[in-house]
Structure formats: C-alpha cells, structure tokens
Structure 1
Amino acid sequence: MHTQRTAVAALALFALAACGTENGSAGSSTPAEPDVPLTGAGWTVNSVSSGDTLRKAPAGADIAFEKGRVNGSTGCNHFSAPATVKGDTLTVGAATSTLIGCPSKLQSYETALRKTLTGKLTVHLSGRNLTLRTAKGDSVKLTQKPAERAAPLAGTTWKVDSLVDGASMSTLPPGTAGKARLTFGKGGSVSGSLGCNRVSGMAKVTGSTVTFGPLTTTRMMCKAPVMTLERQLLKVLHGPVHYGIQHRVLTLKAHDGTGIRATA
C-alpha cells in the first residue's frame, strides 16, 4: 500500500511539472523584448516621408530622447512631447512647440514632421541609422550624432531661446531672440544679459539644483517686449531652481513649473 501511494504521488508531481512547461500555462514566462536604445544620444533628422512626398530636413533639425520625453528642433521651432519606448514601438504624445513663423518650404517640412512623429511608430535601428515608421508607412529617418560630452554648466555661455511652462514651451517676446544670455562661473557666480540690462550675482550648484542668491541688474529702460522678457527671466532666476543639461541644451525650471530653455 505504501509503495502504491508513493507511485501515485510521483505521477502527480510529474503531471504538474509537465503542465508547467506547456505554452501559455501558469509558471511559464516569455522573456520581454528589450527596448530599442534611443536615449543617451542626439539624432539628426535626415528626411520625412509623408504620403508620396519626401521632404529633406533643413540644417539644425534634430531630436533627442530622454526618459519619458522627446525634445527637438525643426530647424525653426523647438518642440517637446511625451514619449515612451516599449520593445520596438515608440509612442509619442501631443507635442508643444514654439510658434516662430517659418518660410513656407520649412513650414511644410515642419508640419509633415509633427504629423508623422505622433502616435505609435515602429522603430528600426541599423547601426547609426534610425527609421521611425507609422502604421500607414510614413516615416522619419535619422542618423545618430557622434558621441559628445554634454556642455558643462559652468564656463558655457547659454543663449536663452524659449520659455517653459510645465511641459509646454513658448517663443520669446517679439524682437528679443538671441538677446538674453547667461554664464555660470566655477566659483558659484552667474552673469549675463536679460535682453537689455546686465545681470550678476551668486548661483550655488548642489546636485541638480541651482540656488540663485540676490541678483543685481543695471537700470536701463528698454522697449516693452524686452522688459517683459526680463521680468519673466528674473522670476525664474530666484531661489532654488532645478536644472538639467541634455547635450547642448540647458533647462532651468522653478518649483511652479515655469522656466527657460537655453542653448550652448
């Protein structure tokens, strides 16, 4: 009797083990497909194919992926959108963008890029070449930029090119593009131009936070758009501010979500 019970138990264990090895059964696992690596590099946009039209990208058109977002330049406007990669699928949400008026040919390319770089796209990476393709067959082709170190915060002149509000960006007031610049010193100082007036003061860096001390500015009166930009910049350059650098792009963002974007 004892021998019979042992045999039955052994058969039961064998049956359970066999069930556990069947496809789709409990205990089985299929290794997840690894995500295509897109972060950690900058990408130059080569072209956008939409319908039967192939549009070559202008100089300065590039994008960069970071955790949860894709940021880029169309060669005219800057844009940012939520983005996630799962396996070989890239999902891009609604983008926010600056609103600079572009020449008609560039505007046509920009419109095609925005339309194509939205929703679910299949990712194909071959060496340094990347193709993002929609379900309809439209595509964006890119080339990975040569590896480069991110521009250092200190010692770099940063040109302010956009205003940030949460996850959205906006253009600078009319007539102020290229006028506001900041330079951080290695000793914890900051100086530069707010667009019209000069600014200087202390900026202590701790981890990913810059804490701006009292800043002093010159007292010139300027045209209304420039003064509007200065007031917006001074609101950001006050107290502790989070900073991040992606390649040659610096973002400063206050606790309320307002901030600035600047390029080395």
Structure 2
Amino acid sequence: MQKQHLTTVAAVAALLALTACGTESGSGAGDGGSSVATDLPVTGVHWSVKSVTVDGKRTAAPAGAHVRIDDKGGAKGNYGCNQFTAKASVEGETVTVSGGAMTEMACPEPVQGFENVLRSAFQGELKGTLSDGTLTLTTAGGDKVTLTEQPPAPLAGTEWKVDSLTSGETATSLPSGTEGKAHFVFAKDGTVRGSLGCNSFTSTTTTDGSTITFGRVATTRRLCPGPEMDLERALLKAMAGKVRYTIEHRTLTLTAPNGSGFAAEAADVSAK
C-alpha cells in the first residue's frame, strides 16, 4: 500500500511539472506552446485622420476629421464636416466597423468628396498596423486610412478653428465660403483673440467651472461679404456675456443662454 501511494504521488507530480512546462511564459508555436493574441491598443484614443488612399490615390484629410473607438463596441468622430457614430470592435489586429449614423450638413467641395471616400474606406473588416503613433487601417481591397494619435486639447493655448454653428443639439454648416476662416486662441492671462471670419477681434474672459464670461469684444472695421458678416454676427452673439463651454477631447463648444452657439476643433498639432 505504501509503495502504491508513493507511485501515485510521483505520477501526479510529473503531470503537474509537464503542465507547468507547457504553459511557461515565453513558449510559442515553435515548441508546441500557444501565444494569446492581444488587441491593438487603439481604443480610447483620439485619432486624427491624416489621409485616405483609394486605388493608389492619396487624399489628405481636412482639419477636424477624426475617429475615436471605445471599448464598448462603438466609434464616433467627424468625417471632415459631418459627425458620425458606428459600431466598432477590435480583435487582434482586425478593426471591424459596421452600420452607423451621421449628421446631414451640406459640405463644400473638396470636403464632401473626402467624406464620401472616408465613409467608404472606414467600413468592414480593416487590418490595423500601429507604428510610432500612426495607425494604418487597410481594407481587403488594399485601400488605406492613415490616422495619428492626438492628445487632449486644453482650453488655453490651443488654436480653435470654428467648424459649425449650433442650436441646441443641432449642428449646421458654416455659411458658404467662410469655412476655415474663423479661429481664436485663449491666453493664460484671460485674454482671447482671433478672427471672426473677416474681422479680427480681442476680448477678456473669466473662466469659472463650465462657464466663460466674455468682456467687451473689440473688432476691426473691415467691410465683409454677406456670408462672412452672417458668421461674424453669429459668433459675436455666442460671445456675449456669460456662456457655457464644453471640451470633448479636441472639440470645443460654446453655448449662449438662448441655446445658440458654435463648435470649434483644435488645430492639428502635428501640422505645426
């Protein structure tokens, strides 16, 4: 009985040793072991779209085009003019994008053309490669979406470029011909200066929690075409007195008490 017991113990010990050997860290396919595939670390990151390459033709992205994939099966971002949401999952090196919805702002060319190209390429199963902060998503047909990681943007010191007007939860495109003209920077000393789309402006601000209070806004006195004046008036209304502001990573939204306002995108730091 004692001999049989010792034999059983020895057999169990040998089995445990064999199991441990088979799962030892560092073992791989070459020695009979298996490695666990890890997902690309792309979720929770603000990815600025740099370009889309279709049929060998590369098209640079407009400012503001971006993608953010979360770890709950969703993605959202901006195609360059319109905002979008979609379903998205990451498994190993494959990013799968499907379905979704988008806003319906009228976009000028060539932005509209870029949006169409990006929407087509950013769908289905995409093979992802990540190198030095650059993410490349490749379709089965060989088309590529190239993105770069962008850090969150602080309120002060960031160049904010106005890209839409807002009313409640609704965003509308800027007046035709004014795209990319309005921009501003909040300084750490509380001043703000920039362009309303035609005239330059400067003002003082006080920030308290989620509100900004603007002082008197001083502007130059240039005569501007109709659309530029429409944009200027809309921005001045949104900068009158105490307004609410939110920053979602690299998007700043200012909202006046009556619900009107505008959204602005942080300038691409990699372009400087």
CA–CA separation in structure 1 for the residues paired with 2:125 and 2:198: 47
Unpaired runs of at least 5, structure 1: 1-32
Does structure 2 conserve the Cα–Cα contact (< 8 Å) formed by 1:99 and 1:170? no
What value does the CA root-mean-square deviation take over the aligned residues?
3.7
1:171 shift after superposition: 3.3
- What is the aligned partner in structure 1 of residue 22 from structure 2? none
Which runs of structure 2 are paired with 1:104-253 in the superposition (5 Å)? 107=113, 110-117=115-122, 121-128=124-131, 129-131=135-137, 141-145=144-148, 147-165=149-167, 169-207=171-209, 209-218=210-219, 220=221, 221-238=223-240, 239-244=242-247, 246=249, 249-253=250-254
Unpaired runs of at least 5, structure 2: 1-37, 268-272
- What is the aligned partner in structure 2 of residue 262 from structure 1? 265
CA–CA separation in structure 2 for the residues paired with 1:212 and 1:151: 20
CA–CA separation in structure 2 for the residues paired with 1:116 and 1:166: 31
Does structure 2 conserve the Cα–Cα contact (< 8 Å) formed by 1:45 and 1:140? no
Does structure 1 conserve the Cα–Cα contact (< 8 Å) formed by 2:86 and 2:101? no
Structure 1 stretches (4+) deviating beyond 6 angstroms? 33-36
1:70 shift after superposition: 2.6
TM-score (norm 2): 0.60
Does structure 1 conserve the Cα–Cα contact (< 8 Å) formed by 2:153 and 2:266? no
Does structure 2 conserve the Cα–Cα contact (< 8 Å) formed by 1:251 and 1:260? yes
Percent identity of equivalent pairs: 26
Instruction: Describe the shift of the 1:123–1:38 C-alpha distance in structure 2 as closer, same or farther (beyond 3 A).
Output: farther
Instruction: Describe the shift of the 1:214–1:48 C-alpha distance in structure 2 as closer, same or farther (beyond 3 A).
Output: same
Does structure 2 conserve the Cα–Cα contact (< 8 Å) formed by 1:160 and 1:178? yes
Does structure 2 conserve the Cα–Cα contact (< 8 Å) formed by 1:164 and 1:257? yes
Report the secondary structure of 1:82's partner residue.
strand
Report the secondary structure of 1:99's partner residue.
coil
1:257 shift after superposition: 6.7
Q: How many residues align?
A: 213
